[in-house]
Amino acid sequence: MTDDLDEIRRRRLAQMQQQAAQQQMGAGDMQAAMQQEQAQAEMDAKKQALMRQILTPEARERLTTLRMSRKELVEQLESQLIMLAQSGRLQTIIDDEKLKQLLVQMQPKKRETTIKRM
């Protein structure tokens, strides 16, 4: 009977140790995820601060509106503008008209389809 009791205690102790190890791993994963999220938030804040320096308020408003429908296009344009600003190749602040021109240049050409009846 004492052997059975000892065996049960050993199993229970092993089970508790395994649960404690899993909890520690889970806490480490959460901490890493929080650090990653914080780093992402800092990068977004820096990006927004730089965009405030590069664009006029009207141009920023246009990008914000466009982001709802064409998120990939806006992200691509923002990354290009940031690269230009950081390399010093962007001489002036971009207003709404210049932003419109950039957006037109970035959009792929549309092909017109014609249907011919025979």
Q: How far apart are CA 48 and CA 99, in angstroms?
A: 16
Residue 93 — pLDDT band, cuts 50, 70, 90? very high
Is the full-model pTM beyond 0.75? no
pLDDT on residue 1:
63
Residue 57 above 80 pLDDT? yes
Taking all residues of the chain, what is their mean pLDDT, rounded to a whole number? 86
How far apart, in Å, are the Cα atoms of 37 and each of 31, 45, 76, 103, 113?
Answer: 10, 12, 21, 30, 46
- The Cβ of residue 110 has, within 10 Å, a number of other Cβ atoms equal to 6
Residue 25 has what pLDDT? 66
